[in-house]
Amino acid sequence: MIDEEKKKEILEKLKRAVINYDEDGARDAAKEALEAGLDPAEAIFNGLVSGMEEVGRLFERQEYFVPELLMCADALYAGLDILKPHMKKLDLGIKGTVVIGTVEGDVHDIGKNIVKMMFDVAGFTVYDLGRDVPLDRFVEEQLRTDADLVCLSAMMTTTMVGMKKVIDEIKKRNPKAKIMIGGAPVSHDIAEKWGADGYAKDASNALKEAINMISALKKLKEDAEAKAVSE
Ligand code: B12
């Protein structure tokens, strides 16, 4: 068991490494976290991600600019590469197939990758389209893979409008597929207004919401199959 003081110290190191765009520092702190027995999920969310939240504030105050943001992202990814393989696998009794990506015009992919990581941990099959994904690609990939769920990420008010187009097109072409949207400018109200089936404010809620949607979808399929057999 790691004691509270040590935990606080390592989380602070992870956070600082991201803020100070220190890739080596992030790697060292990530290794230290694993050696000390800190839960990798806690190290990621309360260390690395928490550091990136502070970076966002520095950007807003115009203390940081795009070059700093890029280097902070590199430091976050350096720590994440070490911690991610050690995330405990979850067996939640249900496995889904998901298409995920950040919409066209938007290169922010940290949040999307963290949501994807939660799906990986839960044993889902994930088709990751990456970032700046042309809107049609989401529709094509859902039809090609027959995925249960399409997850759209957007971090800018200018790019999030693309989500509505994807939702409309998927609902037209395959109304059975579920769609979940997220990212900083997105909200529950927007998701409802645009006809998405789900929204989550962060990665752990994204997994919970996905499980709910996929369970409902599977139940519908089973009921339809049972009805077909009895007829
Ligand atoms: C890092 C960063 C960058 C990096 C991104 C690097 C990368 N590989 O991702 C770089 C330098 C590339 C960048 C560029 C720009 N950025 Co920027 N960036 C950020 C910053 C500081 C942090 C984003 C981040 O990674 N957060 C950490 C992650 C973990 O959190 P998250 O992304 O919110 O994800 C969580 C949830 O949102 C949710 N989630 C995310 N996706 C999804 C999807 C689904 C389906 C679900 C359910 C949930 C979900 O779960 C995630 C995990 O818990 C934000 C500030 C902020 N407050 O968000 C600005 C910010 C997003 N950027 C902004 C801007 C303006 C830009 C630029 C235009 C700047 C410029 N002048 O060039 C460019 C645009 C480039 C482009 N075309 O996309 C603005 C957007 C404003 C707006 N509302 O439109 C922000 C908000 C900063 C600000 N306050 O002005 N940026």
- 91 near 123, Cβ under 8 Å? yes
Residue span of the structural domain in which 31 resides: 4-86
pLDDT one-digit tens code per residue, 122-181: 999 999 999 999 999 999 999 999 999 999 999 999 999 999 999 999 999 999 999 999
What is the pLDDT at residue 41?
Answer: 96
Question: 58 and 116 share a domain?
Answer: no
Q: Predicted confidence band at 2 (pLDDT cuts at 50, 70, 90)?
A: confident
Pair (68, 144) in one structural domain: no
Euclidean distance between CA atoms 57 and 76, whole angstroms = 16
Q: What is the number of structural domains in the chain?
A: 2
Which atom of ligand 1 lies nearest, measured to the CA of 203? 53
Q: Are residues 218 and 126 in the same domain?
A: yes
User: 221 CA to middle of ligand 1, Å?
Assistant: 37
Domain boundary pick from 53, 86, 119: 86
Residue 222 has phi, psi (to 5 degrees) of: -65, -45
**82 lies in the same domain as 104:** no
- Whether this prediction's pTM lies above 0.95 is answered by yes
**Same domain for 117 and 49:** no
Same domain, 25 and 121: no
73 CA closest ligand 1 atom index = 6
**Assigned token pair, 29:** 């702190």
How far away, in angstroms, is 216 Cα from ligand 1 center? 31
> Domain check: are 122 and 211 in the same one?
yes
Q: Does ligand 1 have an atom closer than 6 angstroms to the CB of 200?
A: yes
Residue-level pLDDT at 13: 98
Rounded to the nearest whole angstrom, what is the distance from the C-alpha of residue 80 to the centroid of ligand 1? 17
